[in-house]
Amino acid sequence: MTSSVTDLVDDKPAAQGLPDQTGAQRAPVLTHVQGTPNATVPLHDISVEGLSKTFGDTAIFSDVNFRLLRGEAVALVGANGTGKSTLLRCLLGLIPASGGTVEVLGHRITGARARDLRHLRARTGLVAQKHNLVPRLSVLSNVIHGLLGAHSGPRFWSQSFAPPTARAAAMQALTQVGLAHLADRRADRLSGGQSQRVAIARALVANPQVLIADEPCASLDPAAGEEVMALFFKLVREQGVTVVFTSHHIDHALDYGDRVIGLAEGRLALDATAASLTSTDLRGLYD
């Protein structure tokens, strides 16, 4: 559908329509559609239809359907092993779906060629449970690697060779996460919380429109985890990024998500606004 988009009316989250984490309402972003000059429809950054995934003979989930509006933050919840990480990997095309379709930013992910996926990865980002920094390289070089989706080549592997514009962008991202003073430190000399902040800077440096975060604070102690979540969502809200995140913390899903979707018994068992849910509703998914 979005391949026929011709004119984006407003690409920032506005102030009405969808609830944000403070309970305020934000409007869905509207777009004109080619051939229907007077029509406006909400712009979906992610559309999932009839998605299923099996590993061998084991069905992980089937018939999953949801759409995410631009700027929306959606928490994906469910008990261990229900397929949350698998679903996130299908969204990014990191593993093939077994059935159904995924569209991200108007591009079909399911069945796409590797070259097209590479192009799209320049506009998407991933924050994983394990930050996956290159341990022997500097913090700055690791953040510069976040630009590799948009550019490639040896010039982007090390801060010494990267163009000044790339270094400046990476320094700005480090400043946003409060770690500019550690730019030259080796990544393996950081604390867990600092590493995860660097991973966030790396994910945000290329100004992605869509971010996937798989338990971004799972490896951190509760205090550091709270700090990282608050920082992450402050930045993505400021930048109007569309986010899908998983968390085992029910409070995080309700505090940071506009919407919560839940997997149980191989199905999408929940899709509701965070404002309409209580922690008891979510606990039911873990029984």
Ligand X SMILES: Nc1ncnc2c1ncn2[C@@H]1O[C@H](COP(=O)(O)OP(=O)(O)OP(=O)(O)O)[C@@H](O)[C@H]1O
Contact positions toward ligand X, by CB under 6 A?
55, 60, 78, 80-86
**CA distances (Å), 277 to each of 33, 270, 287, in order?**
34, 10, 17
Whether residue 131 contacts residue 110, with contact meaning beta carbons closer than 8 Å, is answered with no
Query: What is the nearest approach in angstroms of ligand X to the Cβ of residue 86?
Result: 3
Q: Of 9 and 59, which CB lies nearer to ligand X in the complex structure?
A: 59
Cβ 59 to ligand X shortest distance, Å: 10
The CB-of-87 to ligand X minimum distance in angstroms stands at 7
Select 28 or 93, whichever has its Cβ closest to ligand X.
93
Min CB(93)–ligand X separation in Å: 15
Measure the CA–CA gap between 120 and 212, rounded to whole angstroms. 13
Residue reference for tokens 């919407």: 259
Q: 170 by DSSP, 3-state: which?
A: helix
Name the 3-class secondary structure at 137: coil
Query: Is residue 74 within a helix (H) or strand (E), and if so which, with residue range?
Result: strand 73-77
- CB nearer to ligand X: pick between 86 and 141: 86
Element (H, E) at 76: strand 73-77
Shorter beta-carbon distance to ligand X: residue 130 or 189: 130
Measured CA to CA, the distance from residue 115 to residue 137 in angstroms comes to 28
Distance of alpha carbon 225 from alpha carbon 247, whole angstroms: 11
Which structure tokens are listed for 62?
Answer: 């089937």
- Range 196-230 burial, b when 16+ CB lie within 10 A, else e: bbbbbbbbbbbebbbbbbbbbbebbeeebbbbbbe
Q: CB 96 → ligand X: shortest distance, Å?
A: 11
Nearer to ligand X, 18 or 253 (CB): 253
Contact criterion met (CB below 8 Å) for 264 and 78: yes
Tokens of 98: 């077994």
Minimum CB distance to ligand X, residue 79 (Å): 7
Closest by CA position to 193, among listed 228, 236, 231: 228
Q: Which is nearer to ligand X, 86 or 142 (CB)?
A: 86
CB of 82 to ligand X, least distance (A): 4
Q: Which is nearer to ligand X, 55 or 279 (CB)?
A: 55
